[in-house]
């Protein structure tokens, strides 16, 4: 179902808040993977505020939908989403990266409520998501598994082992989403290790591929709805995004894969995000 | 194939079935009782005998092809979904190729995934170093939350596999390739994860063993009693982690001499685990580790390799005589100590 105007307005409000929270958390953390956190804001916002059957009061509810953030370095983007959803108080993010904090750069499922799987080492998440989806099917459970990958992460061979197995097992209860922001630590993805023809690779591995503007709630909604309706096998959504989205001096800048910001830069970043949302 | 006696395993089965075959049969029995059990292999279903489970429960078995890292990741997901995965491939591909998935996806999240790895140590002798695994105990011991077991034979494999079902957290069980002769005649000798089994009482020296060396040490102890009049204690230290500290310290105190025997690199395995306990206790004793002496094992049939590296009964006898001939006294003269 296409988004209503009211839904779109609410999602934009959430995304604005989450982008601001990511900036704050980056300051509190003393540095963070802010670029790739900003590029996936719409993906996570849409999942958590439209699609996911989850209950923040019962994070271990066994029939909840599952999310695997395979690009685990996106923790600084994920934790604010969980806070906004109500899994924990936003104040707790002030401890991000600090001594004995439950929040490290790569979120630990044993410590952070709402995180289904501990990730951080790239290329691991899709295999785990395949296991979750197989587990749901074996037990006749209707919960859905979403796996969010980075594009640079798709250099890892295990992504393709997992991709092969997801289509072999005809997993039609699994949606893969690649945050295609086209940058990695050492440069442009096509310069460091060419991924293209990216969609064709996934198709060759037996996935049905949808390419969308990863900052458009409308396009993401259409693709996710489609992934739910497709019965023949797994669907991959290539979400074309901009690394650092919303912060003018970070957008498409390789160096903002990971960075620190002080209060002056944070203020500039907030202003830029406010401008993006017409605030 | 030999007829098996169901849930109770005897020397009859152990003489006619490999460790892996017994594992496969036991898993089928467990699978009947526990619908949460699922099986996974990576084109090693037949070699590891998890295929027996797969044949019986095709809807609960996944062969992921030759993609071990993916298999361990999938098993983590299945465990997260509330199932109880048993995963089997060769030890080398479990603990080296997939070390990170086992450590990060399974152990870090403390998931109930049970790994039965075959072809451990040098049991696939003629295949060469690519298919040996004399590093697995060292690797898995260093993974927090992991329990590490090296059963003596097929009967003990049955016991370990049954015991791990209700033992919390990840468990690594390393077995051989095939036709290792059995030590145990039946199952009811009191197997308990984390508790060494004293298979021969003795007061002169203690041999601490796991896997194939248990039978060899038991035979050596008999010969040493008859020919040398030595009273040799033999401990079957089937659980490498958590190790039975009490049994080790008792041996330090009562026999003052310890030798460990294992089909594993002398670094990081059973011998190192025992040494850790002795060193931390502050009590000294004569001590040696026998295993693969920090090299890549030569090619050959396993029995020839065990003989070559002093892990058969003859090698164990020779090593005991060597250590017994050395001076070890409670005096202040360090020059003449072992």
Sketch the domain layout of chain A as residue ranges: 5-276
Over the stretch B61-89, which tens digit does the pLDDT of each residue have?
999 999 999 999 999 999 999 999 999 99
Q: What is the DSSP letter of A42?
A: H
How much of chain A exceeds pLDDT 70, in percent? 100
Same CATH topology for B11-174 and B197-326: the answer is yes
Q: Are A271 and A211 in contact (CB under 8 A)?
A: no
Q: Are B210 and B270 in contact (CB under 8 A)?
A: yes
Sketch the domain layout of chain B as residue ranges: 11-174, 197-326
Nearest to B173 by CA among B150, B140, B145: B150
**Separation of alpha carbons A126 and B285, rounded Å:** 51
**Separation of alpha carbons A129 and A150, rounded Å:** 15
What ipTM, to 2 d.p.? 0.97
Scan for tokens 């979120």, then name that residue: A107
Report CB contact under 8 Å: B80, A139. Answer: no
Report CB contact under 8 Å: B69, A127. Answer: yes
Tokens read off for B118 = 């075959």
Which residues in B lie closer than 8 A to residue A62 (C-beta atoms)?
A: 82
Over the stretch B154-212, which tens digit does the pLDDT of each residue have?
999 999 999 999 999 999 999 998 778 899 999 999 999 999 999 999 999 999 999 99
Positions of B annotated as catalytic residues are 68
**Does A129 lie at the interface with B, CB-CB under 8 angstroms?**
yes
Question: A5-276, which class in CATH?
Answer: alpha beta
Q: How do B239-241 and B147-149 pair as beta strands?
A: antiparallel
CA of B213: how far to CAs of A234, B216, B262, B307, in Å?
49, 5, 6, 11
Which residues in A lie closer than 8 A to residue B107 (C-beta atoms)?
A: none
**Separation of alpha carbons B27 and B31, rounded Å:** 6
Question: B197-326, which class in CATH?
Answer: alpha beta
pLDDT for position B3 = 40
Question: B11-174, which class in CATH?
Answer: alpha beta
pTM, 2 dp: 0.95
Examine residue A135 and say whether the peptide bond preceding it is cis (omega within 30 degrees of 0).
Answer: no
Over the stretch A138-178, which tens digit does the pLDDT of each residue have?
999 999 999 999 999 999 999 999 999 999 999 999 999 99
Q: Are B251 and B275 in contact (CB under 8 A)?
A: no
**Does B109 lie at the interface with A, CB-CB under 8 angstroms?**
yes
């Amino acid at each position: 179902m296409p988004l209503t105007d009211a839904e779109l307005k609410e999602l934009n409000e959430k995304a604005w808040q989450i982008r601001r929270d990511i900036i704050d958390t980056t300051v509190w953390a003393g540095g963070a993977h802010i670029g790739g956190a900003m590029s996936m804001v719409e993906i996570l916002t849409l999942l958590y505020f439209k699609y996911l059957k989850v209950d923040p009061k019962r994070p271990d509810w066994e029939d909840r939908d599952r999310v695997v953030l395979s690009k685990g370095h996106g923790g600084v983007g994920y934790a604010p989403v969980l806070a906004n959803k109500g899994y924990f108080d936003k104040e707790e993010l002030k401890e991000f990266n600090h001594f004995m904090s439950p929040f490290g750069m790569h979120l630990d499922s044993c410590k952070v409520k709402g995180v289904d799987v501990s990730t951080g080492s790239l290329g691991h998440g899709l295999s785990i998501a395949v296991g979750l989806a197989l587990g749901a099917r074996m037990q006749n459970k209707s919960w859905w598994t979403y796996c969010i990958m980075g594009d640079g992460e798709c250099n890892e061979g295990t992504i393709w082992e997992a991709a092969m197995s997801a289509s072999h097992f005809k997993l039609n209860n699994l949606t893969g989403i690649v945050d295609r922001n086209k940058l990695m630590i050492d440069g442009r993805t096509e310069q460091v290790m060419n991924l293209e023809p990216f969609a064709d690779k996934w198709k060759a591995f037996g996935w049905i591929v949808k390419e969308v503007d990863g900052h458009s709630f409308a396009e993401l909604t259409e693709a996710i709805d489609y992934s739910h309706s497709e019965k023949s096998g797994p669907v991959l959504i290539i979400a074309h995004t901009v690394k650092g989205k919303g912060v003018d001096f970070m957008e498409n800048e390789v160096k903002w894969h990971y960075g620190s910001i002080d209060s002056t830069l944070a203020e500039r970043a907030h202003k830029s995000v406010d401008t993006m949302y017409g605030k | 194939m030999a007829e098996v006696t169901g849930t109770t395993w005897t020397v009859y089965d152990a003489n006619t079935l490999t460790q892996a075959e017994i594992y496969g049969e036991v898993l089928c029995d467990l699978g009947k009782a526990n619908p949460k059990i699922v099986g996974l292999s990576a084109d090693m279903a037949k070699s590891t005998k998890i295929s027996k489970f797969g044949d019986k429960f095709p809807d609960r078995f996944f062969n992921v092809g030759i993609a071990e890292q993916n298999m361990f990741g999938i098993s983590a997901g299945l465990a997260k979904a509330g199932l109880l995965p048993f995963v089997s491939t060769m030890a080398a591909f479990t603990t080296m190729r997939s070390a990170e998935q086992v450590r990060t996806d399974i152990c870090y999240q403390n998931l109930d995934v049970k790994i039965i790895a075959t072809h451990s140590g040098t049991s696939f002798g003629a295949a060469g170093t690519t298919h040996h695994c004399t590093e697995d105990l060292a690797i898995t011991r260093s993974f927090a939350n992991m329990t590490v077991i090296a059963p003596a034979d097929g009967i003990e494999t049955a016991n370990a596999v049954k015991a791990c079902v209700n033992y919390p957290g990840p468990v690594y069980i390393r077995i051989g390739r095939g036709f290792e002769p059995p030590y145990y005649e039946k199952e009811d000798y009191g197997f308990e994860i984390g508790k060494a089994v004293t298979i021969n009482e003795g007061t002169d020296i203690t041999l601490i063993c796991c896997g194939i060396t248990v039978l060899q040490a038991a035979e050596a102890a008999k010969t040493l009693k008859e020919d040398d009049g030595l009273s040799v204690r033999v401990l079957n230290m089937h659980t490498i982690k958590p190790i039975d500290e009490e049994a080790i310290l008792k041996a330090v105190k009562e026999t003052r001499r310890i030798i460990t025997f294992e089909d594993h690199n002398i670094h990081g395995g059973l011998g190192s685990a025992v040494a850790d306990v002795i060193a931390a206790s502050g009590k000294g004793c004569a001590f040696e580790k026998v295993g693969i002496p920090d090299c890549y094992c030569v090619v050959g049939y396993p029995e020839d390799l065990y003989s070559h590296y002093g892990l058969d009964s003859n090698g164990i006898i020779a090593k005991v005589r060597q250590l017994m001939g050395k001076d070890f006294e409670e005096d202040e003269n360090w020059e003449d100590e072992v």
